[in-house]
Structure 1
Amino acid sequence: MIRDACAADAAACAAIYAPFVSDTWISFEIEAPDEAAMALRIADYAASHAWLVAEVDGKIAGYAYGSPHRTRAAYQSSCDVAVYVDPAFARQGFGRALYDALLPRLAGRGCHAAFAGIALPNEPSEALHRAAGFTPLGIYREVGWKLGGWRDVGWWQRLL
């Protein structure tokens, strides 16, 4: 089931996200947000764009959200998107289901273009975005330093 996230989902979302922060360069954050910080993110992004969770038998399998792309006024109709799936539920279609629910919701809220940054290499994420209709735009080379090395970020876009 795909549904709107609420504050009660913050602990599960934080638990899903934490290993991506601490063990990979998929997220460029250095410190994983705790439950309280995640609850604030859920509230902020749900109000401005959308934050959805995939729930299976009462367990959160993953989440996806839209957020502002940039702060200047002309960017108001663009958004950034992200999806994170618990590794226990990986490659079962949850990422695609989340995007299939999120992207129309964002379009309904006036978003015209969605952008996703993918820290490279990350073939599973690239495949997901390709399947969800995103096209690659280019690569920011050596844009972030994480886990002892410079990391590239590929940028993808989908017009909504």
Structure 2
Amino acid sequence: MRSGATEVQVRPGVEGDLAALTDLYNHYVSETPITFDTEVFTPEERRPWLLSHPEDGPYRLMVATDAGSQEILGYATSSPHRPKPAYSTSVETTVYVAPHAGRRGVGTLLYRSLFEALAGEDLHRAYAGIAQPNEASTRLHERFGFRYVGTYEQVGRKFGRYWDVAWYEKPL
């Protein structure tokens, strides 16, 4: 798949991606309110997260790489929405794109691949929480059929201020 001037490949995430995925996520931890984690992770601390996303089943990790360099440009996941059994047909989805790879369609390629991979799973709904403001993420989710369902106001505190999270849902 082409994204901007770069050929992009999307594939399931593997153990060898752990360090690069951790570095990418840590950028968002330390520099943005997009995630409410406040302390960066080591790859070993992040390993359980990676292992919780196998190549099959409802909880997936899709990775976008530059076809030439194999550099990770972003990733998308589906994860449990809540831990109680009645939520098992619902997932929370998310996308993280490397800062230098934004606005090139990488998020779109990742979500397309993720939802194609989830098509055969016993899932009913996908949910996404978007820390506000984040117009690019809102546009991406709406493009994939998510609809706004409500906002948790001032639900997270990071960088000395409170942030709202808008919630979106999509039928699967």
TM-score (norm 1): 0.95
Matching residue of 1:85:
97
- Displacement of 1:50 in angstroms is 0.6
Of the structure 1 ranges 103-112 and 137-146, higher mean CA displacement relative to structure 2 is found in: 103-112
User: Displacement, 1:119?
Assistant: 0.4
Give the one of 12, 16, 21 matched to 1:8. Answer: 16
Tell me the residue number matched to 1:52: 62
Q: Which runs of 4+ in 1 moved over 6 A?
A: none
Q: Report what 2:154 is aligned to.
A: 142
- What is the CA–CA distance in structure 1 between the aligned matches of 2:46 and 2:90, rounded to whole Å? 23
Deviation at 1:69, TM superposition (A): 0.4
Tell me which residue corresponds to 2:88: 76
**If the length of structure 2 is used for normalisation, what is the TM-score?**
0.89
Unaligned runs of 5+ residues in structure 1 are none
Count of residue pairs the alignment pairs up: 160
One-letter amino acid matched to 1:157: E
Distance 1:131 1:20 in 2: 23
SS at match of 1:127: helix
More helix as a share of residues: 1
- Cα displacement string for residues 89-119 of structure 1 (whole angstroms, at most 9, x for unaligned residues): 1011110110001013223221211000000
- 1:50-129, aligned counterparts within 5 Å? 50-56=60-66, 57=68, 58-129=70-141
